[in-house]
Amino acid sequence: MSERREDRLRAAHGTLDEAATDLVQVIDGSVAQLWETIESLERLQPRNLERFRVSIFGSARIEKTHLLYGEAQDLGQRLAEAGCDIVTGGGGGLMQAVDLGASRGAVQHPAGGDLPVRLVTDDDDAPFVERVYRHRTFFSRLHHFVRLSSAFIVLPGGIGSTLEAMMVWQLLQAKHLPPTPFLLYGSHWSGLLRWIEDEALAQGYLEKEDTRLPIQVETVDEAVGIILQTLSEFQARSADSPEGKS
């Protein structure tokens, strides 16, 4: 810590003891590491995406016998068959179901380690290539999802899935992301959407257009239809680009 920084802290709080000094140093180091991670992710994947990738969030607690597990598996398979890369948190439950469907059974187990991101790619030359990225913070993990993705689907889930949904929503609201499909799957999300309308919108905390950013869908057919329309537009833009014409 610089002497000037210590002087400012002493002026505000009195003499720094050793524990307080250590704490400030830890915080400073963590913030520096966070921004270094963000910059690394920017280099890893700029927003001019060359492949169409769909990030799918959802509960890691759902059992294989649950109806949602089969729907998530079907969703992953149909999107992969259409040419989408699939990005998940790599865990169990609905994430495992999506990975299982996207890989046609080649990827069956949760990714090991803390805070993973799993990317399943289906190429003609190398079908079902699995890449797993490790993260030390939820923030860098969520940022990685955003940098990788051309579309987002949030399946039913708890606090983690809600956090992921709200981050995507806020980035779209603030126009830190270009217009991007953001689907909330199932009636599970109806209560959240009602609260946004009845409380946040009514109190003037957001604009009406902000409430239209998420699209609530009830079936796999609806979700796949919206994503494949966006995929078609993505492919048309890619074909018109200088790289696509070369």
pLDDT band at 45 (very low <50, low <70, confident <90, very high): very low
Q: What is the pLDDT of residue 196?
A: 97
Q: Which domain CATH number covers 159?
A: 3.40.50.450
Rounded-to-integer distance, Cα 138 and Cα 116, Å = 10
Q: What is the pLDDT of residue 151?
A: 96
Together in a domain, 128 and 240: yes
Q: What is the pLDDT of residue 128?
A: 62
Together in a domain, 57 and 7: no
CB 147 within 8 A of CB 39: no
Together in a domain, 104 and 219: yes
Together in a domain, 33 and 86: no
Q: What is the pLDDT of residue 141?
A: 79
> DSSP E strands: which ranges in the chain?
53-57, 85-88, 116-121, 129-134, 151-154, 182-185, 215-217
Q: What is the pLDDT of residue 197?
A: 96
Together in a domain, 37 and 118: no
> Residue 158 corresponds to which tokens in the numbers above?
């708890």
Together in a domain, 229 and 150: yes
Q: Which domain holds residue 10?
A: 3-41
Rounded-to-integer distance, Cα 124 and Cα 62, Å = 32
Together in a domain, 145 and 197: yes
Could you read off the pLDDT of 71-130 as tens digits, one per residue?
A: 999 999 999 999 999 989 888 999 999 999 999 877 878 876 666 778 887 665 555 667
> Residue 169 corresponds to which tokens in the numbers above?
């929503």
CB 18 within 8 A of CB 116: no
Rounded-to-integer distance, Cα 116 and Cα 88, Å = 9
Count of structural domains, the chain: 2
Together in a domain, 183 and 233: yes
Q: What is the pTM of this model?
A: 0.78
**For the chain, how long is the longest CA-to-CA vector?**
66
Taking 80 as the threshold, does the pLDDT of residue 155 lie above it?
A: yes
Together in a domain, 91 and 7: no
> Residue 120 corresponds to which tokens in the numbers above?
């399943």
Mean pLDDT of the chain: 83
Exposure string of 50-86, with b = 16+ CB inside 10 Å and e = fewer, is eebbbbbbbbbebeeebebbebbbbbbbbbbeeebbb
Taking 90 as the threshold, does the pLDDT of residue 225 lie above it?
A: yes
